[in-house]
């Protein structure tokens, strides 16, 4: 077939898929209410590399904090195997079907890092398991807090998680050897739900300030749409101050000590959110210290935002990996479940262990504490709070 015709046909299919997505979003129900459930099922997914080592420790800490609920069969922690790069490569799927089926039986997922194959790797070029899970479970809000109290930094990022350059990131086309085209998608429904979540959070938390970040002066259609939706939503929140910034200057302003403390809640499309949250996490000690929540109406998933560090495992240091980031994700998990007291206690224990007391330090090498020793330290600290 003629190359242009083939490209047109491909494009047509993508539009049809997006229309179907929009219809689903229109039918979406409200957020799940955990109080109405007999039992909350938390699926624990180890992932690759250091993932199983650190996730096991986060699971121990959760089991410790939720002991009563687990005994009363109000909460179940369930291990879900098979989301490993070996199994995904063998099945040539970002998430193997049987794993996805198990994930869908849970309400909440705690996930270790998974390997994302890229060109030149020994693995087939399958889609990232993260990106696939966000899409499959419709986890549209990627919520990432960054705090550096002594510098007055208290940021909350609402990154759109299912659209933008990521929606069709694995569906671009090589029209011919010279021409490669990718697609980026913004929908009214998809923008609405993430921007509204950010405004709601700004209102409820009393932060009362939202910054909308785009590049709408250049990426006029999709980012323009995102900004237009934001303008409409802002009208419903007269008590929440808002402004809009372009991503380039925003990246600069985060390192401007005089201005950066003005930002409170930031909402932005997927790819900009990916980049800006890594920059932001660096102020707090790097991506290894940050947790991330992926929230949808039905499902939610909590993860560390660092990678799987395969070299640590091949060098036999897997059990010396720092579990702090995934345990930070567990704090957000508890908050999402409505267990605010336990979440606060765990956050406090993490601060004592990692920032103030530092009786044990994880270095990633055998001269530091092991992941298990560090989790024990956190639980001891919790007992003494
Ligand atoms: C993140 C990660 C992922 C992303 C990768 C692993 C696909 O960088 O969670 O920020 O780009 O979203
Ligand atoms: Mg990232």
- 330-384: per-residue pLDDT in tens? 999 999 999 999 999 999 999 999 989 999 999 999 999 999 999 999 999 999 9
Measured in Å, residue 166 CA sits from the centre of ligand 2 at: 12
Q: Given a cut of 70, is residue 41 above it in pLDDT?
A: yes
* Ligand 1 pocket, residues with Cβ under 6 angstroms: 116, 128, 130-131, 274, 305
Please state the φ and ψ torsions of residue 19, each to the nearest 5 degrees: -60, -40
Tokens, residue 353: 């262990």
Cα–Cα distances in angstroms (integers) from residue 15 to residues 19, 25, 121, 171, 377, in the given order: 6, 15, 31, 12, 52
Give the chain's domains with CATH numbers: 31-139+296-385 (3.40.718.10)
Q: Given a cut of 80, is residue 280 above it in pLDDT?
A: yes
Name the strands in the sheet holding 241-246, side by side, starting at the edge strand that comes first in the sequence.
Answer: 75-79, 40-45, 108-111, 300-304, 291-295, 141-148, 153-160, 265-268, 209-214, 241-246
Which pLDDT does position 17 carry in this prediction? 95
Residue 131 Cα: closest atom of ligand 1: 7
Measured in Å, residue 237 CA sits from the centre of ligand 1 at: 31
Eight-class DSSP state of 267: E
Which pLDDT does position 117 carry in this prediction? 83
CA dihedral 226, 280, 157, 165 (to 10 degrees): 40
Q: Please name the residue whose Cα sits nearest to atom 4 of ligand 1.
A: 274
Beta strand 265-268 with 153-160: parallel, antiparallel or unpaired?
parallel
Residue 134 Cα: closest atom of ligand 1: 12
Cα–Cα distances in angstroms (integers) from residue 10 to residues 1, 170, 184, 244, in the given order: 12, 13, 14, 35
- 235-249: per-residue pLDDT in tens? 999 999 999 999 999
Q: What is the largest CA-CA distance in the chain?
A: 71
Which pLDDT does position 191 carry in this prediction? 98
Measured in Å, residue 274 CA sits from the centre of ligand 2 at: 4
Q: Given a cut of 80, is residue 100 above it in pLDDT?
A: yes
If you average pLDDT over residues 91-114, what whole number do you get? 97
Query: How does residue 127 score in pLDDT terms, banded at 50, 70 and 90?
Result: confident
Measured in Å, residue 73 CA sits from the centre of ligand 2 at: 36
- 139-197: per-residue pLDDT in tens? 999 999 998 989 999 999 999 999 998 888 778 999 999 999 999 999 999 999 999 99
Q: Is residue 188 classed as helix, strand or coil in its secondary structure?
A: helix
Query: How does residue 1 score in pLDDT terms, banded at 50, 70 and 90?
Result: low
> Containing H/E element for 173?
strand 173-174
Measured in Å, residue 294 CA sits from the centre of ligand 1 at: 11
- Which of 85, 88, 116, 157 has the most ligand 1 atoms within 8 A of CB, as the residue to mutate? 116
Q: Please name the residue whose Cα sits nearest to atom 9 of ligand 1.
A: 305
CA distance 19 to 341: 42
Average pLDDT taken over every residue of the chain: 94
Measured in Å, residue 5 CA sits from the centre of ligand 2 at: 35
Cα–Cα distances in angstroms (integers) from residue 65 to residues 71, 252, 264, in the given order: 12, 40, 30
Residue 116 Cα: closest atom of ligand 1: 6
If you average pLDDT over residues 309-325, what whole number do you get? 94
CA distance 198 to 184: 22
CA distance 131 to 169: 9
Q: Please name the residue whose Cα sits nearest to atom 11 of ligand 1.
A: 274
Query: How does residue 229 score in pLDDT terms, banded at 50, 70 and 90?
Result: very high
Residue 142 Cα: closest atom of ligand 1: 9
Query: How does residue 116 score in pLDDT terms, banded at 50, 70 and 90?
Result: confident
More confident call, 29 vs 313 = 313
Query: How does residue 322 score in pLDDT terms, banded at 50, 70 and 90?
Result: very high
Measured in Å, residue 202 CA sits from the centre of ligand 1 at: 25
Q: Please name the residue whose Cα sits nearest to atom 8 of ligand 1.
A: 274
């Amino acid at each position: 077939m003629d190359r242009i015709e083939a490209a047109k046909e491909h494009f047509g299919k993508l539009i049809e898929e997006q229309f179907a997505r929009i219809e689903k979003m229109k039918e979406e129900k409200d957020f799940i209410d955990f109080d109405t459930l007999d039992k909350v099922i938390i699926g624990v997914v180890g992932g690759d590399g250091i993932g199983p080592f650190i996730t096991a420790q986060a699971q121990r800490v959760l089991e410790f904090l939720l002991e009563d609920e687990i005994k009363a069969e109000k909460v179940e922690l369930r291990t879900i195997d098979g989301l490993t790069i070996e199994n995904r490569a063998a099945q040539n799927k970002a998430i193997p079907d049987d794993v996805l089926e198990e994930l869908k039986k849970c309400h909440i997922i705690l996930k270790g890092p998974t390997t994302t194959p890229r060109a030149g790797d020994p693995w087939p070029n399958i889609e990232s398991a993260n990106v696939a899970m966000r899409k499959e479970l419709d986890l549209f809000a990627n919520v990432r807090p960054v705090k550096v109290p002594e510098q007055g930094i208290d940021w909350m990022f609402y990154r759109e998680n299912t659209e933008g350059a990521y929606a069709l990131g694995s569906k671009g086309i090589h029209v011919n050897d010279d021409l490669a085209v990718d697609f980026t998608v913004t929908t009214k429904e998809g923008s609405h739900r993430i921007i509204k979540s950010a405004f709601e959070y700004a209102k409820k938390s009393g932060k009362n300030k939202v910054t909308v970040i785009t590049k709408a002066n250049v990426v006029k259609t999709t980012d323009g749409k995102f900004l237009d939706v934001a303008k409409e939503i802002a009208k419903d929140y007269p008590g929440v101050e808002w402004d809009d910034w372009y991503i380039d200057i925003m990246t600069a302003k985060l390192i401007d000590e005089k201005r950066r403390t003005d930002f409170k809640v930031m909402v932005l499309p997927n790819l900009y959110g990916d980049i800006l949250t890594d920059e932001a996490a660096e102020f707090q000690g790097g991506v290894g210290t940050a947790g991330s929540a992926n929230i949808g109406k039905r499902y939610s998933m909590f993860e560390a935002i660092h990678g799987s560090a395969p070299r640590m495992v091949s060098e036999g240091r897997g059990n010396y990996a720092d579990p702090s980031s995934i345990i930070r994700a567990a704090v957000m998990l508890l908050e999402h479940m409505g267990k605010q007291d336990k979440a606060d206690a765990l956050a406090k224990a993490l601060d004592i262990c990692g920032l103030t007391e530092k009786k044990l330090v994880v270095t990633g090498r055998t001269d530091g504490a092991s992941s298990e020793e560090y989790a024990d330290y956190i639980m001891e600290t919790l007992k003494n709070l």
